[in-house]
Structure 1
Amino acid sequence: MAIEARELDVACEWLCGVWRGVCLRGDEVGRERKDGRGWVDVGMRERYGVRYLRITCEVAFPTSTVVDASDKAVDEGSDDEVPDEDEEIIERSSACEMQQLRTRVCYDIVHSASYQVPLVYISLPDLSPAAASSPEQVYSLLVPDAYKSQMQAVGTMGALSMGEHPVTGSLAWFVHPCLTQDAMRAVSEREANLSPEMYLMRWFGVIGSSIGLSVPIEVGQAVQTYSREAEVGSDNIGTIRVP
């Protein structure tokens, strides 16, 4: 199932409006941030005349991912006790680990002219280049357990590949467009005549959820309200409505 660039742009603008409306209702979106996988910001960006949607999330680190071997006060396998004067250093190190248990993940949703589907490019600005380019680290941070075996079974590196961001030119992880095209074609076989907005929501369910980009509960509720209005033929279908 294909979507044109202008249709995806309309759907992304609509989602930004829904997000703004949800945020205006208070701190409800903060509930999912506490779980370490919430949306922090949603907005349209433009560069070189190309518009794309950026969703910034906050993801929780597994402790083992954060701690670097060089930071350990005592080498593994050593029986030496830690001197008393080093206790303060260890306490500071532990506090530092706690501060690093969350990191930003930027998801850029860009239209593919060749495949006529949304493509997602993922960057991790808070990680070191080595960690951000490690497939093991990326899968550990982004891919929910339920999707890991399925995602890693595709090709030599799995469903996620690293390549050049089509707009910024920087290196980023992305889900190959062939996989997106096949997944959205399967959606079209079940649901015909999807609006651009609902197409985008189905994309989140099929592709986004597999890489840690699930729609927050409050946003999903606002989308359901829109969908109900569309079903009854509301005169306000073209207007963003947030309950």
Structure 2
Amino acid sequence: MQAKLEPIGAAKTFVRTHFSNCQAALLAGSIVRGEATATSDLDIIIFDDTLVSSYRESFIESGWHIELFAHNLTSYRAFFEQDYRRAIPSLPTMVSEGIILKDSGVITDIKHEARALLDSGPEAWSDETIEMKRYFLTDALDDLIGCTNRAEGLFIAGTLATLVCEFILRTNRQWIGSSKWTYRALDRYDAQVAHELTDALERYYQTNDTEALIRFVDETLSPFGGRLFAGFSRGKPNGT
């Protein structure tokens, strides 16, 4: 088995081997944040003006799983915009937090772009979007309340947790995430609320008691009019 180099050394070796002429390179991810686990990989961002377009590729080198995010000096902006629209700022966060491995003088401006986007927050939800999200939350909540199949209930509870996290964060103009980042985003915004939600989920998973989870969702929806079913409509032609 290949010996595992220390992370910065492994990252620099990767850059020298594959992108010796790039303008800039960053090491990002859990290693940089001090949150690495036994399964953490190296997230390496490359800025190379010879690339026609952005791409992503995976490697195993120097004893590490390596995720490469390759961009030229303008293509990254499309990903910044895409992340802004979906309110999941993956690339801007990596760029902002990233440790500089190489720089020919371009990375400061790119980092400033990333930081400015993160500081601005995502676009506020419209009233129409809030109404639609209330409906989806109500639908998932009704599914949980009426569920008699334990296996189905486990999946419904997971969906409900994701939806209610999104609702809390986006109605407060906060960035969201996916998978583990869903919880991390909520915990960063309001640790007490994150704790209450995880307690409610644990109670359901361990005892099949839905009371705390139902109450949590209802309290989340209450300032926005509560559950929504009757009267919800989308796509109906005017005058009908």
TM-score by length of 1: 0.28
Q: Give the strand-richer structure, 1 or 2.
A: 1
TM-score by length of 2: 0.29
- Relative contact order higher in (CA < 8 Å, ≥ 6 apart): 1
Q: Which of structures 1 and 2 has the bigger CA Rg? A: 2
Q: Give the helix-richer structure, 1 or 2.
A: 2
